[in-house]
Amino acid sequence: MKHDFHPTVLREYDIRGIIGETLGPDDARAIGRGFATLLSRAGGSKVAVGFDGRVSSPILEHALIEGLTSSGCDVVRVGMGPTPMLYYAEASAEEVDGGIQITGSHNPANYNGFKMVFQGRPFFGEDIQTLGRMAAEGDWIDGTGEVENREIMGEYVERLLAGLDGIDRDALSSLKVGWDAGNGAAGPALEALAARLPGEHHLLFTEVDGNFPNHHPDPTVEANLEDLKALVAAKQLDFGVAFDGDGDRIGAVDGEGRVIWGDQLLMIYAEDLLTRRGNATIIADVKASRALFDHVAKCGGEPLMWKTGHSLIKSKMKETGSPLAGEMSGHVFFADTYYGYDDALYAGVRLIAAAARLGKSVTQLRGEMPAMLNTPEMRFQVDESRKFAAIEEIAARIAASDAVADTTDGVRVTTDDGWWLLRASNTQDVLVARAESETEAGLGRLLVQIDEQLALSGLERGESVGH
């Protein structure tokens, strides 16, 4: 038995494709066989499996489990829920050696995929390419694994509530929060969580529906936060929280309806953590605002700029012992009193806790942030064979000039006007650009510099393309 994957589905951080076109049950079975073989060779034997609310998820789950068990792995089925619930099952159970969540994340309804954890670490990059090679060669061991069902949601919600430990819950009795699950997989866990939280909680779209009838569940797109903003305004809530389709990315708005972007949320979390644990390393990706890195330093922390990508950030946290990290995309990782993975429900609880400990409302915390002018993330198509080479050319030109640049992930150039970034996406044939300044004129000059560098490499920004 051998299997060939469609060339587009084995990505940098996960496996993802279009159901019936580039991804199907045979792929799920092959993933199971390869993952189980690798785990067995590494001395593991048990895998937790969960799935999101997409229409295709149960079929893929069935095939994945067939693959895992036919290569000798035992399976713990935790059922439908957010990706972080699967991460919790893997992190909290000593006998579980790995985890696979079937999820299309924030992609359209006809997509699905797999996010994986291997013996407590992210499974990505070369690991995923290895699965492809093993499938092409039929390099799988044979065996017979067993399957058990485990109800974990109650235990998971209990663990989320521990994010409020040490806080006077009576002091939170007047708190009013809105939550938007976007018909994603976090809905049922959110209902159980909100019922146990102090204060008043208003919930939107908690019914799981893989067709996403109300709005697309991607909280980094401001248009998807309109329902939440309307709820906050109508009910005069303190703030609102939104999730993506599988509950590992958070979005938020304050009491005035202002969006609190990923790096701004990290400013709040960092200030809270550093009041209790000074000198800690706080990691953010290269797309984050300078205001965040400045704020971390001001609060006594060590800011560290790192590569974009949740698997890359998680790995860097382990390497540096960082207790907190985050990305512009809304992935936030807590490793101080949590497990170091990205969990938007836990991040929502920690936002309540941070405001309480800092003695300020979320609206006040957002209002105190410096007013920076940012471009949205601009993404434009560049041929796969050209995208990394173009970034190397730009980096070389910048290095030969007297500009101040960081090349951790792409090229981030700092000038008196602010900074601009160009990097190649690891998952698509696109370049990503971003710029930030304190003035409109400064932002304009930064964009001119981006365009100049692109032109020198025979490229242009053109129209921005979606995720």
* Cβ pair 277, 327 in contact under 8 A: no
Please work out, in degrees rounded to the nearest 5, the angle formed at the alpha carbon of residue 183 by the alpha carbons of 177 and 188.
70
CA distance linking residue 121 with residue 65, whole number of Å: 21
CA distance linking residue 457 with residue 459, whole number of Å: 6
Other beta carbons less than 10 A from residue 459's beta carbon: 21
Catalytic: which of 105, 289, 329, 437? 105
Could you give phi then psi for residue 388, rounded to 5 degrees? -75, -35
The DSSP element (H or E) to which 176 belongs, if any, is strand 176-180
**Which of 62, 51, 153 is CA-nearest to residue 103?**
51
For tokens 């949590």, name the residue.
338
- Residue 432 is encoded by which pair of tokens? 């990503």
Radius of gyration of the chain (CA): 22
CA distance linking residue 123 with residue 86, whole number of Å: 14
CA distance linking residue 259 with residue 73, whole number of Å: 44
CA distance linking residue 397 with residue 362, whole number of Å: 43
- Residue 464 is encoded by which pair of tokens? 């921005």
- Is 437 noted as a catalytic residue in this protein? no
CA distance linking residue 216 with residue 31, whole number of Å: 28
What residues are labeled active site? 105
